[in-house]
Amino acid sequence: MERAANVASRDFIRNWNISGLRRRWRVPPPSITDRFLTLPATGIRLRVREWRPADPEKGEMLILHGLGDHTARHDWAASLLTDAGFRAVGFDWPGNGESDGIRGDMPTVAESGRLLEEILAALELRPTGIFAHSTGAFLALHWLGERGRALDCLRWIWLSSPLLVPSHGQPGWKISLARFLATRFPRLTLSTGVKPSRCYHTGFDPPLDASLKKDGSHHRVSLRFAINLLAAENGLHEAVSRIPGEPAFLVTQGSEDEVCPPEYAEALFARLPGPEKCLVLVSGARHEPFREKDHRAVSNAVRSWLGTR
């Protein structure tokens, strides 16, 4: 069944069971553990965060953040997941957060797939579901299209403001110049231009704005990673078509997202395999709907969807 909804609608808020917000306050907070993991095959040192629910676990979740991000910034998603009974595990991609690497020099599409498999093996993680935000969604979809059959326990995927068209808004001359420079200075990093004000409406909570500027996020991207994203852009929909097993999909997307515009998410939604998929378009929200001033409606939408998993 396909469902799409706009969370600006009051009827929609009622339909997604706003009483769930009240029940949430009676759910004990998850226990959070941070540690570092050195992968034996590559020697890469990663920061890993784990959230455990107070109640018995329904399954395991893998959390994948985006470029310039880190896993602790998705405590909000982990809270929803643990409230629903899932144990969640995330890590900082190389080049982000507290993991090894040059800021912004993330693993390529092929490298990220191998890295994910190495992490799952090292953590003995068999994810029931995957949460992937922005660039993390781009990498996850390619990986699932290539190697998804190895995840025999995967039942659902939550795509948050997914990056789908890396070339969006980039003039041809800039792409050509980047390709030329990447052959000579592959790990040189440039600004992505993605500042907090493009991710959510700033100004309503100055302490929050100040804390996010100091939380370890950045707006850099290496030339080699940027060029690899561009090269993999045309193959994304084909990769999506190869995802096995017909998992359920949830796509959450801000209607005013200039980083990953909603028209691309809507086009992806139409192509997603399987009969069970849901698109939540958050009216007036930017790239990070859950950081907007009033995110309760979309939180309840996700909470209701997770309750059926």
Give the confidence band of 213 by pLDDT, cuts at 50, 70, 90: low
Whether the pLDDT of residue 18 is over 50: the answer is no
The confidence score (pLDDT) of residue 22 equals 37
The Cα angle at residue 89 between residues 87 and 90, in degrees rounded to 5: 150
Whether the pLDDT of residue 142 is over 50: the answer is yes
Helix axes 135-147, 223-232, angle to 10 degrees: 50
Whether the pLDDT of residue 23 is over 50: the answer is no
Report the C-alpha gap between 213 and 38 in whole angstroms. 28
The confidence score (pLDDT) of residue 21 equals 41
> What integer best gives the mean pLDDT of the chain?
89
Annotated domain spans of the chain: 2-306
Per-residue pLDDT tens digits for 47-99: 999 999 988 789 999 999 999 999 999 999 999 999 999 999 999 999 999 99
**Among 4-8, 15-19, 205-209, which range has the highest average pLDDT?**
205-209
Report the C-alpha gap between 164 and 155 in whole angstroms. 22
Whether the pLDDT of residue 3 is over 80: the answer is no
Per-residue pLDDT tens digits for 229-285: 999 999 999 999 999 989 999 999 999 999 999 999 999 999 998 889 999 999 999
Report the C-alpha gap between 138 and 158 in whole angstroms. 12
Of residues 112 and 7, more confidently modeled? 112
Of residues 301 and 11, more confidently modeled? 301
- Average pLDDT on 170-179 reads 91
Report the C-alpha gap between 165 and 1 in whole angstroms. 26
Whether the pLDDT of residue 167 is over 90: the answer is yes
Report the C-alpha gap between 129 and 155 in whole angstroms. 6
Contact 135, 67 (CB under 8 A): yes
User: Which strands make up the sheet holding 156-160, listed edge to edge?
Assistant: 2-6, 277-282, 248-254, 156-160, 129-133, 59-64, 86-91, 45-52, 31-38
Its CATH class, for the domain covering 2-306, is: alpha beta
Give the confidence band of 188 by pLDDT, cuts at 50, 70, 90: very high
